[in-house]
Amino acid sequence: MTRLSAAILANAPAGVAVPNYDRSQITPGIVHLGIGAFHRAHMAVYVDDLLRDNPDWAIIGASLRRPDTKEALEPQDGLYTVAVRDASGTHPRIIGSILKVLDANTERQELLELMASPQIRIVSLTVTEKGYCHDPATGELDQRHPDIVHDLANPTAPRSAPGILVEALARRKAAGIAPFAVMSCDNLPCNGATVKRIVQKYASMMSADLGQYVSTLAFPGTMVDRIVPSTTDADRATLAGFTGMEDAWPIMTEPFTQWVIEDHFPQGRPPFEKAGAQLVEDVEPFERMKLRMLNGSHSTMAYLGYLAGYEYISDVMGDADFVKLIHGLMTEEAMPTLDMPGVDLAAYRDQLLERFRNPALKHRTWQIAMDGSQKLPQRLLGTIRDRLKSGQPFDRLGLGVAAWMRYVVGIDEKGENIDVRDPLAMRMMAIAADAGDDAEALYEGLVGLAEVFGSDLPGSQAFGETVATHLDELFEVGVKEAVKEVVEEGTAS
Ligand code: CS2
């Protein structure tokens, strides 16, 4: 079978869309850190839509951790397939907006030089929550993070995202080149302001002057949304059968896509709005809506669903009690905390439920369950804090938090091990081992993780009563029964 590459673009298989521009005419304007599946299904597609009329905005990607994306895309001249899937079928499109991928570990100086060059006017990031080396509860730089400690000692050979950004900005400043805008596309609350705070702190630890310089730069916030499950070998095989072409790393995704961007790009930007993005003054309400409605539901379904034996989100949606739980979580508990004039939240909720149901999207509960310690604060705990403030109940959200606590114990209802992936996994496992069978002790141990629960929630009686009671139920009656009980109580009240 022929491997996807620039040579076959002119004779692409029927039914496969190809770039509508000449790839030899495009030049880079964006460096993207963290060139994973999400970026390739989202921003790279928007840019692909725009390159014909804006050829100086192509992307050079960098992987900060593993060389696998570079290894997959290099023999394909940076090309890959995005396959949009739903009940109507599979719709493949070849994306050409990524010119090249650099491996930050082996090509660090090349990456820094590129980021310091005047043609790069935007540096965007999807490095996941943990890639910012911050404390998720406070949003501050974690100064004891091993990568930060390393980078402060070796500033010209950084390995963390903040370290790489600051070194590149310092080189531009020294050379008198205008700074790039830093655009985070991660699911962090107030991602622009949060990343600015982290990067500015790191820069100020390098020198007061650099800290002051970073304080003047543009960090536009964004709300990004597209569901992108990890690609499996089965996906590769299915797609190859469909296109008759081998692609080492195609991306499977849903038809829906949304991008809301704060319009703050002093060195210019591609006309993202022409590709469907919304440019706004303040992105924060959109981020909060998405984190609390979509991601809050996702995480709740991931922990409860995994424990109940559901492999995919679409399986969870086949269980009527789970659907009622998620519907109630959004309607009764999340929506009242959102202030979104002009947005029909009930319609947004219904659209989310429809997206979760997509039978063609194999989105693993285990994938979403990853890195819960970094995700819980903005997905569930912020909503709970608002509910606590107004004295309102939060039973469904509380069950979601309890399910996370039950999950990180690392043993499922059948006594089998769970592969818990989380930067705090070792600490959580030690807490679980100390607690043994005692659900109350487990609650007390986990709620003491200040990076997750801050300093307020451990002392909240209402929080403790709701979450510890649900945790106990999860052990006593099992997940499906616990969900049923919450749903029935919700209907009665
Ligand atoms: C998911 C998100 O893996 C996860 O934690 O909740 O990646 C989710 O699919 C995206 O935010 C959708 O835009």
pLDDT in tens, 252-262: 999 999 999 99
CB of 227 sitting under 6 A from ligand 1: yes
8-state DSSP, 13:
P
- Tell whether the model's pLDDT for residue 220 goes beyond 70: yes
Q: Whose alpha carbon is nearest atom 10 of ligand 1?
A: 227
Task: Indicate which atom in ligand 1 lies nearest the CA of residue 299.
Answer: 6
Q: Which amino acid is at 224?
A: V
- Tell whether the model's pLDDT for residue 155 goes beyond 80: yes
CB of 145 sitting under 6 A from ligand 1: no
CB of 287 sitting under 6 A from ligand 1: no
pLDDT value of residue 12: 87
Q: Where are the beta strands (DSSP E) in 226-318?
A: 245-246, 251-253, 258-262, 278-280
pLDDT confidence bin for 360, thresholds 50/70/90 = very high
Task: Indicate which atom in ligand 1 lies nearest the CA of residue 38.
Answer: 7
Task: Indicate which atom in ligand 1 lies nearest the CA of residue 298.
Answer: 6
> How buried is 246 (Cβ within 10 angstroms: 0-12 exposed, 13-18 middle, 19+ buried)?
middle
Q: Regarding predicted confidence, which is higher, 493 or 433?
A: 433
pLDDT value of residue 17: 95
Q: Are 372 and 404 spatial neighbours (Cβ–Cβ below 8 Å)? A: yes
Give the separation between CA 239 and CA 31, rounded to whole angstroms.
29
* Separation in Å, CA 478 to CA 2, 299, 309, 337: 50, 18, 12, 30
| Proportion of the chain above pLDDT 90, given as a percent | 95
Give the separation between CA 126 and CA 477, rounded to whole angstroms.
39
The pick from 184, 187, 256, 326 for probing ligand 1's pocket by mutation, whose C-beta has the most ligand atoms within 8 angstroms, reads: 187
Task: Indicate which atom in ligand 1 lies nearest the CA of residue 375.
Answer: 5
Task: Indicate which atom in ligand 1 lies nearest the CA of residue 368.
Answer: 3
Q: How far is the CA of 14 from the centre of ligand 1 (A)?
A: 32
From the centroid of its chain, how far is CA 378?
12
Q: Whose alpha carbon is nearest atom 6 of ligand 1?
A: 295
Tokens of 215: 């304080």
- Tell whether the model's pLDDT for residue 318 goes beyond 60: yes
- Tell whether the model's pLDDT for residue 209 goes beyond 70: yes
CB of 298 sitting under 6 A from ligand 1: yes
Supply φ then ψ for residue 25, to 5 degrees. -100, -5
pLDDT value of residue 275: 98
CA angle 445, 197, 42 (to 5 degrees): 90
List 82's β-bridge partners, or say none. Answer: 93, 251
Task: Indicate which atom in ligand 1 lies nearest the CA of residue 225.
Answer: 13
CB of 482 sitting under 6 A from ligand 1: no
The pick from 128, 186, 294 for probing ligand 1's pocket by mutation, whose C-beta has the most ligand atoms within 8 angstroms, reads: 294
Between β-strands 2-3 and 134-135, what pairing exists: parallel, antiparallel or unpaired? unpaired
Q: Whose alpha carbon is nearest atom 1 of ligand 1?
A: 368
Which of 125, 260, 136, 128 has its CA nearest to residue 182? 125
- Tell whether the model's pLDDT for residue 66 goes beyond 80: yes
Q: Whose alpha carbon is nearest atom 13 of ligand 1?
A: 225
Q: Whose alpha carbon is nearest atom 11 of ligand 1?
A: 225
pLDDT confidence bin for 51, thresholds 50/70/90 = very high
Q: What is the average per-residue pLDDT within 184-211?
A: 97
Q: What is the average per-residue pLDDT within 9-27?
A: 93
> With respect to CATH, is domain 284-492 assigned 1.10.1040.10?
yes
Give the separation between CA 427 and CA 416, rounded to whole angstroms.
20
Q: What is the average per-residue pLDDT within 184-212?
A: 97
Q: Whose alpha carbon is nearest atom 3 of ligand 1?
A: 368
pLDDT value of residue 11: 87
Q: How far is the CA of 225 from the centre of ligand 1 (A)?
A: 8
- Radius of gyration over every alpha carbon of the chain, rounded to an integer in angstroms: 23
pLDDT value of residue 13: 86
Q: Where are the alpha helices (DSSP H) in 125-160?
A: 146-153
CB of 187 sitting under 6 A from ligand 1: yes
Q: How far is the CA of 367 from the centre of ligand 1 (A)?
A: 9
CB of 367 sitting under 6 A from ligand 1: yes
| Proportion of the chain above pLDDT 70, given as a percent | 99
Q: Whose alpha carbon is nearest atom 5 of ligand 1?
A: 368
Give the separation between CA 295 and CA 259, rounded to whole angstroms.
15
Between β-strands 140-141 and 134-135, what pairing exists: parallel, antiparallel or unpaired? antiparallel
Name the average pLDDT for the chain.
96
CB of 204 sitting under 6 A from ligand 1: no
Between β-strands 80-86 and 89-95, what pairing exists: parallel, antiparallel or unpaired? antiparallel
The SS3 assignment for 461 reads: helix
Task: Indicate which atom in ligand 1 lies nearest the CA of residue 363.
Answer: 9
Q: Are 478 and 413 spatial neighbours (Cβ–Cβ below 8 Å)? A: yes
pLDDT value of residue 492: 62
Q: Are 334 and 383 spatial neighbours (Cβ–Cβ below 8 Å)? A: yes
Q: Are 414 and 403 spatial neighbours (Cβ–Cβ below 8 Å)? A: no
Q: How far is the CA of 45 from the centre of ligand 1 (A)?
A: 18
Same topology, domains 6-280 and 284-492? Answer is no
pLDDT digits (tens, 9 = 90+) for 234-243: 999 999 998 9
pLDDT value of residue 493: 53
CATH classification (class only), 6-280 = alpha beta
Q: How far is the CA of 27 from the centre of ligand 1 (A)?
A: 31
pLDDT value of residue 40: 98
pLDDT confidence bin for 490, thresholds 50/70/90 = confident
CB of 295 sitting under 6 A from ligand 1: yes
The pick from 128, 130, 227 for probing ligand 1's pocket by mutation, whose C-beta has the most ligand atoms within 8 angstroms, reads: 227
Residue 224: how many other CB atoms lie within 10 Å: 24
Q: Tell me the domain boundaries of the chain.
A: 6-280, 284-492
